[in-house]
Amino acid sequence: MKKIIVVLLFFSLAWTVYVQEERINLLENSLNQLQNTLAQLPTMPNAIMISDDSDGVANILPSVLEGVVGLRVEATIRQQTWFGERSVQTVGSGSGFFVTDSGYLITNAHVVENAFQNEQSSITAVLFDGTSYPAVIVKYDRDLDLAILKINASVFPLTFASEMRLGESVFAIGYPLGFDLSLSITKGIISGLNRNLGNGVPLIQTDAAINPGNSGGPLFNMKGEVIGVNSSKIASSIVEGIGFAIMGEIVTEFMDDVIN
């Protein structure tokens, strides 16, 4: 009886070892197949490859920075107070970008609003290298929130994109909160197209950070082409990453009669 039990235990142990070895062999074969598949993936047709374009902005910057400009707006305006009307000196800042090599530049109308038709005002355009020039308003449209300015200098113009796609990567360059943070760069994607905030102007929605002072600056695609003019954001404690830019086609139509 003991011999029978020993024999049964032996065969049971042998079977267990055999099963475990088979499982190990199957696992090894699966791992080998997975490794082979991964090794072949880059050359497989229609393979979906996820690339890291984090260096893309760094590569593009040298070709676009010269086209971005900071704007300083000083104006004396009349303001109503409890003690009557009085003169108030205002200083504001924003961003813009050149659209011709002869010094025409685009910005938001609200950036230069205090200087529009105001003889007691001045606009200074500060270039990427720190040089500055006086600027004058050539065209102004409060409804579109766009303005064309002009300086007397030869500059580097930016170009507009012919198309854009929902979800594509974008980045903004501007002067948020003034000149201490000049030429700040933020990156995101196109979160929505043809957004409307009530004034009928189609906007690009983006999660690239748009802050006060970025207004009027360019929103770029990853080719270094301008797709829009940064204009506003939704500011709230319960909202994050909802900024807007005026679509490029609206901008080109606005400046067509002046530039051409």
Which sequence positions are flagged as catalytic?
110, 145, 215
Q: What region does 138 belong to: left with phi over 0, alpha with psi -120 to 50, or beta?
A: alpha
Distance of CA 240 to CAs 83, 102, 233, Å?
A: 40, 39, 9
Q: How far apart, in whole angstroms, are the C-alpha atoms of residue 4 and residue 63?
A: 86
3-class DSSP state of 200? coil
- What are the DSSP calls for 143-191, one per residue? TTTEEEEE-SS------B-S---TT-EEEEEE-TTSGGGTTEEEEEEEE
Widest distance between CA atoms in the chain: 117
In contact, 189 and 207? CB cutoff 8 Å? yes
